[in-house]
Amino acid sequence: MTKPKVLISDKMDPNAARIFTEMGCDVDVITGETPEQLIARIGEYDGLAIRSSTKVTKAILDAATNLKVIGRAGIGVDNVDIPYASSKGVVVMNTPFGNSITTAEHAIAMMFALARQIPEANAQTQAGLWPKNGFMGVEVTGKTLGLIGAGNIGSIVASRALGLKMKVVAFDPFLTPERAVEMGVEKADLDTLLARADFITLHTPLTDQTRNILSAENIAKTKKGVRIINCARGGLIDEAALKAALDSGQVAGAALDVFETEPAKESPLFGTPNFICTPHLGASTTEAQVNVALQVAEQMADFLVTGGVTNALNMPSLSAEEAPKLKPYMALAEKLGKLVGQLAHDNLTKIAIEVEGAAAQLNQKPITAAVLAGLMSQYSQSVNMVNAPFLAKERGLDVREVRHDREGEYRALVRVTVSTSQGERSVAGTLFGNGQPRLVEIFGIGIEADLDGDMLYIVNSDAPGFIGRIGTLLGQSNINIGTFHLGRREAGGEAVLLLSLDSPVPQDVLKQACDIQGVRTVKALNFV
């Protein structure tokens, strides 16, 4: 079996290459190339490991014909065109935890630097001024820290602040009351935080909702003399508004590690009294750089070798432990998606994926992605679990997941229901004892069948002689029947016939099948 091939295109700890090799990948370390050089090279690689220097553009992704995964050693993925990568079926991973402690510690360091005016005091002391009476700091003990964003890094900052005997008030729409209690912080709305905080620190991603979260309007709501720290993302603070607030005394001090435009060669804040800054150093420790390099190598190799998905930004996570358990269900889900896509693909508006029994105990997201991959394969030959949800969303398909704890007729069941202009259509399948996918219901009719290779789907009136007529037609056309599966609603009513065949059915034979007495629908299927 050919080993997956990985390119490391940015400088990172040499142990990353070692891990790729130990986990079964071939790896090349080629850094500092121009975009044109990378475009010429990238087509031969399955994985691309980067830091911040490599910009993964549409042009690079178009040239990356074998690429399956991009791994960013770090948190920020501004240098990767994630939507386009998703449309190409490329998984994008980052390492959100590798530099968490480092970034949190930098925020705490910036808070202390503000509280005691350390940078300016240092500069004047080294200039020989000895300004002992020129600086009056504030204690952090007993002060209130306003935490905007209580995720991984924010929670570490909170724990450090609590250790400093500070009070912590947190604003985060995703912070549950239970988690707030566990962290030892008070959950509050943004206005409450702004009114009460002595220090404000930001630890949230830059989104449409968080851009300029500290606007001129919100800065005006703060306690007079507040000190503000941002080690998260530039753009969270209106820098011009912050400058005005520093000048007016509304904000007593500000410390930024990030800017709206980077590298920050100029800023309205430069030279402002009580303003300190660093050049995006939040992740810049020896430990962090080693950690993110090792993590990205482990994650990418795990994905390429075993199928495990960790910290992916455009695909459901799937641990190495989960992958073996889920793979049979994902195979079933993809076949059900292909089936419904071939039989009921016109004017789809909604799709529901239901799981019950043993399937309900598993991570449903990969099952849903597999259904969509099977369904969307009718629209694109390059579809996979990564880009299928993207393509479904692009087409306005409403996707719903349903989990049933009940035990049904089967130990495990996956049901796919689509809404079409003709009404709802549903198919269901299970796993047999050997883990093989098996269809058990199609459009309300019970039928057991393997979904594999070339097949023929026929809806007919249940009447004597039909099976003989269709068998004769296929025999005369030199088409061999592998397996034969029948189901019906009731005696003499609507019946379904599923045949597995050793070869595809030509169009002229399909037309002849349609002309057989009692036939309502004929459809050639393929499950390659």
> 52-98: per-residue pLDDT in tens?
899 999 999 999 999 999 999 988 788 999 889 988 889 999 987 88
Sequence-ordered strand ranges (E) for 327-369: 350-357
CATH number 3.40.1350.10 is the correct assignment for the domain at 5-97+287-306 = no
User: Do strands 69-72 and 47-50 pair parallel, antiparallel, or not at all (unpaired)?
Assistant: parallel
The three-state secondary structure class of 337 is: helix
The DSSP secondary structure of 255-309, one letter per residue, reads EES--SSSS-S--TTTT-TTEEE-SS-TT-SHHHHHHHHHHHHHHHHHHHHH--B
Strand partners, 356: 404, 413
- With bands split at pLDDT 50, 70 and 90, how would you rate the model's confidence at 39? very high
The pLDDT tens digits of the residues spanning 153-195 come to 999 999 999 999 999 999 998 788 888 999 999 999 999 999 9
- pLDDT value of residue 49: 97
Contact status, residue 229 vs residue 201, Cβ threshold 8 Å: yes
Give the integer Cα–Cα distance in Å for 372 and 392.
7
Give the integer Cα–Cα distance in Å for 101 and 267.
28
> Which token pair is 491?
């005696």
DSSP assigned state of 505? P
Contact status, residue 356 vs residue 408, Cβ threshold 8 Å: yes
Of the options 3.40.50.720, 3.90.180.10, 3.30.70.360, 3.40.50.10860, the CATH number for the domain spanning 100-277: 3.40.50.720
H-helix or E-strand spanning residue 424: strand 423-431
The three-state secondary structure class of 158 is: helix
* pTM (2 d.p.): 0.62
pLDDT of residue 502 exceeding 70, the answer is yes
- pLDDT value of residue 345: 60
- Residue tagged 């009114």 (tokens): 195
Report which of residues 322 and 80 the model is more confident about: 80
Domain with CATH 3.30.1330.90 in the chain: 318-451
Average pLDDT over residues 308-315: 82
Domain with CATH 3.40.50.720 in the chain: 5-97+287-306, 100-277
- With bands split at pLDDT 50, 70 and 90, how would you rate the model's confidence at 324? confident
Give the integer Cα–Cα distance in Å for 230 and 246.
15
> Which token pair is 221?
């709501």
The pLDDT tens digits of the residues spanning 338-372 come to 999 888 766 677 899 999 988 888 888 889 988 99
The pLDDT tens digits of the residues spanning 245-268 come to 999 999 999 999 999 999 999 999
Q: What are phi and psi of 237, to 5 degrees?
A: -120, 135
Q: What are phi and psi of 275, to 5 degrees?
A: -115, 130
The three-state secondary structure class of 51 is: coil
Write the CATH number of the domain with boundaries 318-451: 3.30.1330.90
The three-state secondary structure class of 407 is: coil
- pLDDT value of residue 320: 65
DSSP assigned state of 254? E
What positions carry a catalytic annotation? Answer: 233, 262, 280
- pLDDT value of residue 477: 92
Write the CATH number of the domain with boundaries 454-528: 3.30.70.260
Question: Residue 78 contacts by C-beta under 8 Å, 6 or more apart in sequence?
Answer: none
Give the integer Cα–Cα distance in Å for 33 and 56.
13
> Which token pair is 370?
């597999």
Give the integer Cα–Cα distance in Å for 307 and 293.
20
> Which token pair is 8?
């490391």
Helices (H), 47-99: 58-63, 82-87
